[in-house]
Amino acid sequence: MTNPEPRPFRIAVPQADLDDLHARLANTRWARELPDVGWTRGVPAGYLRRIADHWQHKYDWRAAEAGLNRLPQFVTEVDGQELHFAHLRSAEPGARPLLMVHGWPSSFVEFTKIIGPLTDPVAHGGRAEDAVHLVLPSIPGFGFSPLSAPGQGNLFAVAGAFAEIMTRLGYDRFLAQGTDVGAGLVGLLPMVAPGRVIATHVNGPSPYPFGPALSLDGLTGAELDRAERFNTFQQDGAGYLHLQATRPQTIGYALTDSPVAQLAWIVEKFAEWTDPAKALPEDAVDLDQLLTTVSIYWFNQVGASAAHALYDGMQAYRAFAQPAAGDGDQAAEAWEPATGGWEPSPAPPSAVAVFAADLTVRREVDPAGSHARWTEYDSGGHFPAMEVPDLLVADLREFFRDH
């Protein structure tokens, strides 16, 4: 551990990299497309050409970069892994710390719309007691946390590293919220940091993607719909996960060499995972905010490293969730965190928010009914901080107020 103290960080993409992006977009070798297939076989060429043109000619990376640099950002090293995070302190004296963790294919940029309402609630229709100090880390392999070695994406190691960041910031106890991979990490925090997590909140937890199809027996209404959509996803929508969880290096070449490949890889998921009532990704989220995340993947060459992180994460998750003899213990103990090990402890109060596009089936992800709060919404999707920020903020405020 050579640099334990968080050091200030500033985003500074060289102009040569920006020029290279524009040149590559201009010289894209476009794939041929069969007629009349729409979105059934992936992102349509006509649509992607339009978004790529916007990225090249209308999107302003320098404006996005300047906006992000107005956020206090830092890097610190934990167990050999460099970790990036933004740290937004509230002016409210009673504010509590909240760790918020993004998922794939995303970044800390996902949360920029809710920074103000969470850190300064009085100015955004809330109460002073709702205020939090926000810590927004980049998962190893994502954003500005480049993966340093195989295994650094192990979910137990990452959760332990995030707990260590909170220690270094002086936060002994804290709230935690996560989405996608971030939800998995938040679920592990009470194990790797026993007694320190006040309460947890996740959105859209999905059944295990590599498990069997879900039985539809006894399900009705929204639960039946989500179970049917989950089974369809397993058959028709999980190719990206199989590839990244098994051959991250191979897909990494395309994501690193072609900005259009990286754009399509991410845009497809925003098309499939956002509010089903929205026809196109830019109907559900701000297009420039989406392109800021795509740009971060491109400039930092983290399309490949995020795939490697998912590989590490799925290996650990498989061993823990479906262990062979002793494998679960090995998955949990395959790291030496700076804070000491992990141990079972009473689970803190937890909440789940399910948005319209989510594939959450409660009897699969919460069979014991252990969550203190379970809320379902008829709008939004996988990226609620981008899609329906007001709903997410209200859900967080209402739950954390009592904890």
pLDDT at 327 over 80: no
Structural domain harbouring 46: 7-22+42-401
At 50, the pLDDT band (50, 70, 90 cuts) reads very high
Q: Using the CB atoms, write b or e for 57-80: b if 16+ within 10 Å.
A: eebebeebbeebeebebbbbbbbe
Q: Examine residue 348 and say whether the peptide bond preceding it is cis (omega within 30 degrees of 0).
A: no
Query: 232-266, pLDDT tens digit by residue?
Result: 999 999 999 999 999 999 999 999 999 999 999 99
- Work out the angle at residue 40's Cα, subtended by the Cα atoms of residues 34 and 41, and round it to the nearest 5 degrees: 55
Question: What CATH code is carried by the domain that includes residue 264?
Answer: 3.40.50.1820
- Domain membership of residue 34 (yes or no) is no
Tell me the average pLDDT across 284-290: 98
Decide if 386 is inside a domain: yes
- 3-state SS assignment for residue 174: strand
* In a domain? residue 27: no
Task: Determine, yes or no, domain membership for 35.
Answer: no
Q: Is the pLDDT of residue 333 over 50?
A: no
Burial of 256 (0-12, 13-18, 19+ CB in 10 A): middle
Which 8-state DSSP code applies to residue 353? E
What average pLDDT does the segment 21-28 reach? 98
Q: Is residue 188 part of a domain?
A: yes
Sheet holding 7-9, edge to edge: 7-9, 73-78, 81-88, 132-137, 96-101, 174-179, 197-203, 350-354, 373-376
Answering whether pTM is above 0.75, one says: yes
Mean pLDDT across the chain = 93
Residue 322's pLDDT band (cuts 50, 70, 90): low
Residues of the chain above pLDDT 70, percent:
93
Q: Extract the tokens encoding 64.
A: 């996005």
The reply to whether 1 falls in a domain is no
- The pLDDT of residue 9 is 98
Please tell me the predicted confidence (pLDDT) of residue 2. 55
Helix 287-299 crosses helix 61-69 at what angle (to 10 degrees)?
90
Instruction: State mean pLDDT over 120-139.
Output: 97
Question: Helix-strand-coil percent breakdown of the chain, rounded to 5?
Answer: 50, 15, 40
**Residue 30 belongs to a domain:** no
Number of domains in the chain: 1
